[in-house]
Structure 1
Amino acid sequence: MKKHVLVIALILIAALATPLFAQGATETAAAGFVPSKDIEWFVTSSPGGGSDIYTRIIADIMTRLNLVNGQTFLVTNKTDGGGEVGRLQVSRVTAGKIADHTLLTFNSGDHGPMLKNTANRIANFTPIAVMAVDKQLLYIGEYAKYKTFAEVIAAVKAGKNIVIAGSKGDDIATYELLVKELGFTQNQISFITNDATSAAITSILGGHVDLVMSKPAAADQYVAAGKLVPILALANSRFTGNLAAAPTLSEVGAYNNVENPIWRGVVAPASMSAEAAAFWSSAFEAVSKSEAWLNEYISKYKLVSEFKNSVQAKAYMEKFEADYLKSLGK
């Protein structure tokens, strides 16, 4: 009799425990995240620019490494309002599943103008990762009047006006640093802002400006084809490879070098779930450690690989924001 009671008791305990264990397993599965639909990835510059190249290379590597559960990246170039419309659109995504499948390419050249011109802040996003640090050069085209940057300086001193084409954000900041270091005014060396570096390059290829400012990625194919020639490295040291001939500013004359490093990262809507943010941060880390990333992006376009996960990226972007706002007196 006692034996039967013991058996019944064990059966009851097992029966009661089974739903609890089953529920725990369900909750564990629900707590994870893998992409289950197309991923919409916004880029707030035009096709062919540095941010666009960066985005498409990462999307391609993630697909090849099978990091996104067989889902497709839909890259959307949203350039309206200097990119502010695209950033605002992503910050306002609230639907959970859509938020978990939405990414935004975001760099210091986007962050600065956003802080300066709008009320949008990093708190309206979920930082996912920082991937690399980029720098710029000045290039001449086929119709260049001046073949070296020393000739450009001499022309300005002789009363000529020089026009540089570039992109928004970080290019403007670097231009301002350059003009200040040279001791010229922004009337003597002026700057034409474009929505993306690709548009700026088009203008110099047509002979409409004297110089174009670009990161290596956007200018790469034109340098390889002989359409653009780098004449000044906006960095503390020379670049390598086919950019090595461009001197730094201190090599041109009695000037300090001008360098304005640009970090390249990714954010998502603030409403993205913690599970999705963790998934994406890990996926970007996997890309950063891949041979494809080092060979097809970092080495090819002369960047510095500098991965920061979601927690580190959040702190990094928040500090950038605080420092930038302080510089604006806000």
Structure 2
Amino acid sequence: MKKFVLVVALIALLSVSVFANGTAEAGSSAGFKPTKDVEWTCTSKPGGGSDIFTQQIKEALKSQGITDANVVVSYVTDGGGEVGRLQVSMTNKAKADHTLLTFNSGDIMPMVKNTDNRIENFTPLAVMAVDKQLLFIGEKSNYKTFQECLDAIKAGKKVVIAGSKGDDIETYNKLIAELGLKESQLSYITNDSTSGAITSLLGGHVDLCMSKPAAAAQYVEAGKMTAVLALSKSRFKTPSLKDAPILSELGYKDVEVPVWRGVVGPKEMSPEAAEFWSNCLKAVSESEVWQTGYIAKKGLISDFKDYKEAKAYMTEYQTNYLKEIGK
């Protein structure tokens, strides 16, 4: 009888500890729970789209009570982000379970094109959303519309776009190909992050800036930037972006390079930790703060894929891109 009472007491004590705050941690069923600081690597500079994405998730993990882990974001942008990606891919032992990396299609393209690093050296955890680019003018821009830019080029003037790496470069290449222009006519300056490109635009050093909605949002709201072309097959629905036309409205075929945004861990991350983090990210994607404060506000498309789906999705994307570039 005493043993029975003791067992009941222990069960009650465990129940109180797990449900004291109403719910257990989102990933607790996976058999893993962080026991040290979590290092989250972002391979773009602060202020860019990848940073905003990372910070939004970090804040949601905390504010929504999804996990009480202490997440520390570090920015490793050397080599266009390749140094940071290589460091994460080589992280091993117990540290692997406490290491995360912001990873999107704009990262995988230059990685597989310029290095031997591959998605097989990571543990995909989730795909969270899909993003697209626009072209913006600034307060000091010489042109008010994208058509004015095209007219200037036809008149023999050079127009300059500032943007980031990866998917931005891919989008630019498809844009000039569709427009039938040379790089010397509509040139492109590569920055380590979109925030750097925006700084160039606001300083009057370039004519246009390529950016996704999130990175440009605060400047658009302040009236410092205006969207003049949506690089998409349909106009953006966000009020501040809906007036930007798509290429087909200007007499060309539409150009778009959808960008999926996700999170991965090191290759040696344990299956239990992978499931834990994937569950946490799913909880973030389903939260109101994420859907309204990030997806809707920043003009993205919600598209969650868990760690199993993300692995297949990222692997297929890599395979198709390698075929596209002949590698």
Distance in 2, matches of 1:105 and 1:294, equals 19
Give the 4+ runs in structure 1 shifted more than 4 A.
none
Query: 3-state SS of the aligned residue for 2:291?
Result: helix
| Equivalence for 2:158 | 161
Query: 3-state SS of the aligned residue for 1:76?
Result: strand
| CA displacement at 1:328 relative to structure 2 | 1.5
Query: 3-state SS of the aligned residue for 2:315?
Result: helix
Instruction: Map residues 203-214 of structure 1 onto 2, 5 A cutoff.
Output: 203-214=200-211
Deviations 1:147-186 (A, max 9, x none): 1011111111111111000000000000011101101011
**Amino acid of the residue matched to residue 44 of structure 1?**
T
| Equivalence for 2:294 | 297
| Equivalence for 2:55 | 56
| Equivalence for 2:72 | 74
Gaps of 5+ in 2: 1-27
Query: 3-state SS of the aligned residue for 1:66?
Result: coil
Distance in 1, matches of 2:142 and 2:284, equals 43
Deviations 1:174-206 (A, max 9, x none): 001110110101111110000000000000100
Which structure has the greater CA radius of gyration?
1
| Equivalence for 2:87 | 89
Distance in 2, matches of 1:310 and 1:57, equals 19
| CA displacement at 1:30 relative to structure 2 | 11
| CA displacement at 1:327 relative to structure 2 | 1.1
Gaps of 5+ in 1: 1-28
What CA RMSD, in Å, does the superposition of the two structures yield over aligned residues?
1.2
Q: 1:130 aligns with which of 103, 123, 127?
A: 127
| Equivalence for 1:9 | none
- Percentage of pairs with the same residue: 61
| CA displacement at 1:320 relative to structure 2 | 0.6
Q: 1:220 aligns with which of 217, 220, 234?
A: 217
Distance in 2, matches of 1:136 and 1:329, equals 25
Distance in 2, matches of 1:31 and 1:307, equals 19
**Amino acid of the residue matched to residue 246 of structure 1?**
A
Distance in 2, matches of 1:59 and 1:144, equals 35
| Equivalence for 1:3 | none
| Equivalence for 2:8 | none
| Equivalence for 1:248 | 246
**Amino acid of the residue matched to residue 246 of structure 2?**
T
Q: 1:186 aligns with which of 183, 187, 192?
A: 183
Distance in 2, matches of 1:181 and 1:322, equals 25
Moved more, 208-217 or 32-41: 32-41
Deviations 1:43-101 (A, max 9, x none): 00000000000000001001112222x22110001100000000000000012x21001
TM-score by length of 1: 0.89
| Equivalence for 2:41 | 42
Distance in 2, matches of 1:30 and 1:99, equals 19
Distance in 1, matches of 2:166 and 2:155, equals 30
